[in-house]
Amino acid sequence: MGTGKGAETTAVDDERWGILRANRSPALWRQVEDGMQSMNGSDMWSREKLAGYDPEKLRNAILALDGAGAACNNIAFNLCLSGVRELRVVDFDTVEVSNLTRSYFFKKERLAEGKKRYKAREVAIGALTLSYAEDPIVRYAVARVEALGLGALLGAKVVVSAVDSFGSRAWLAKATRLLRIPMIEVGFTASQAHLSVYPNKAEDEPCWRCAHPNAEPEGISCTAYARAVVEQGMSPATQTVAATVGALAAEACIQALHGEFPLGGKLLVLDIRTGKSTTINLTADPECANGHRSLARIDDLDVSADEPLRRVFEVTGAEMSSPIAHLPFPFVIEAPCVNCGARIPIMQPAYAVREAPCCKQCPGSPPKAPAPLNSVSLVAADSRLATTRLKKLGLGPSAIFDVEDGVSGEIRTFRLAGTTDDIYTTLRRKERRVSDAAPDASSPADASAAEADAALDAVIEADEHDLPCF
């Protein structure tokens, strides 16, 4: 402990950092950064630069994270500290008390009043508050990633799959391949974590589906998955393994942003208790269900998701004969009751049908044969479904899909009208001028749930709107 000039400088630094933590405003950020440079001749990112990071690449980066559980929390935490500008977080699940010990952005106080808290929103709020980017943007969607469609990934430099659903991982593997976006896939159970990296640059590279040929669309929440692990007598994951895989995945993301893939086409398996690790070279499956197709061209359509499918046919009909729309997912018209086999209207995309339907009241005796599953993937202009809204068919804002020329067989890819803000709820910081009387720097964690919300809303500006319902 000194009393000279050095101690005085340290006190000034501590005071500036205290104000920064309380406000997180871009104006104050610039003030502190300039002050640091003038006092010690360095900058915030000096260590990162020495490690080979290019702050400019991180400053312009956009990353999409599917699954907002423990892995996502730890990945987002590292990316926020690294100065990544934009994060997109997708998850339909809600926060439970047991999530708190593995998830930095989930706060106990925000669960205090029993209000339902969605994981994607909690990560988004926390990430915006923590981010060291000068003008951070965090977007979130309380939905399954399949429901958002390919348009949700447009512009992303890296996509992270951290979701407990083989169906969603399979969809992401195909989506990132189509759009040629690198995909980082992570997971863990007990003390064992794994990470796989897919650059998606060349046709002969493996994708996640190559190693999981039997993966089928299905859905299970992280909460349900964790409960199943406990019920089976297995050891659930802890913060130590979540933090480890979070650091590995964040580093893989940062390397990908620099165009480097040291683990490209590889699966890393690590046991954090024993220290044993294994790296497996993955190979491409020539019979892979994903097909390893990539989109060379996407044409924009001046058609919104609220319009009927026939509008697509009207617009494309001038250039294509007897156009046929290829739906991203089969559209289930009706399905048999799991108990009696009777017909039950569904009228939803297949990804939204998560369990076998059941009659509200089954008849006294089952039919001789159950009703067949009735679903369609191709819709022609003369189909009754042509009058159905695109959103209802699973084609939301900025959705990307194929249309086939019914005569020549030519297939073209189109994108519906829409922006990123139509898909996600967007959070941004408010610009605030720093006054001589700094605001109270106490953490929202010391307040009630309502006060915590008010404190958070004071430092962010949210474009909250009703998300599309698919």
Is 82 within a domain? Answer: yes
Same domain, 277 and 306: no
Tally Cβ neighbours within 10 Å of residue 279. Answer: 11
Same domain, 173 and 221: yes
Is 321 within a domain? Answer: yes
Same domain, 321 and 410: yes
Q: What angle do CA 54, 162, 401 make, to 5 degrees?
A: 90
Same domain, 91 and 190: yes
Is 269 within a domain? Answer: yes
Same domain, 230 and 379: no
Tally Cβ neighbours within 10 Å of residue 267. Answer: 18
Is 149 within a domain? Answer: yes
Among 416, 438, 455, the domain boundary falls at 416
What integer pLDDT is reported at residue 455 of this predicted model?
52
Same domain, 407 and 323: yes
Residue 385's pLDDT band (cuts 50, 70, 90): very high
Same domain, 327 and 363: yes
DSSP for 175-226 reads: HHHHHT--EEEEEEETTEEEEEEE---STTS--GGGG-TT-------HHHHH
Residue 289's pLDDT band (cuts 50, 70, 90): confident
Same domain, 271 and 315: no
Residue 116 has pLDDT above 70, yes or no: yes
State the average pLDDT over residues 233-248.
82
Same domain, 262 and 306: no
Residue 443 has pLDDT above 70, yes or no: no
Same domain, 253 and 375: no
Round to whole Å and give the CA distance between 207 and 188: 19
Same domain, 268 and 326: no
What sign has the CA pseudo-torsion 129, 135, 138, 139?
positive
Round to whole Å and give the CA distance between 69 and 339: 35
Round to whole Å and give the CA distance between 379 and 394: 13
Round to whole Å and give the CA distance between 226 and 187: 12
Lowest mean pLDDT among 84-88, 135-139, 213-217: 213-217
Mean pLDDT of the chain, nearest integer: 82
CA-based nearest residue to 178, from 413, 397, 418, 470: 413
Question: In whole angstroms, how large is the CA radius of gyration of the chain?
Answer: 25
What integer pLDDT is reported at residue 291 of this predicted model?
86
Is 446 within a domain? Answer: no
Same domain, 190 and 261: yes
Q: What residues make up the domain containing 377?
A: 302-416
Q: Whose structure tokens read 């390397």?
A: 255
Check which CATH number belongs to the domain holding 174 and give it.
3.40.50.720
Number of domains in the chain: 2
Burial class (CB in 10 A: 0-12, 13-18, 19+), 241: buried
Among 367, 390, 416, the domain boundary falls at 416
Tokens of 361: 């009241």
Is 460 within a domain? Answer: no
Residue 136's pLDDT band (cuts 50, 70, 90): very high
Is 224 within a domain? Answer: yes
CA distances from 156 to 58, 86, 87, 179, 430 (A): 12, 9, 9, 10, 24
Residue 410 has pLDDT above 90, yes or no: yes
Among 215, 247, 281, the domain boundary falls at 281
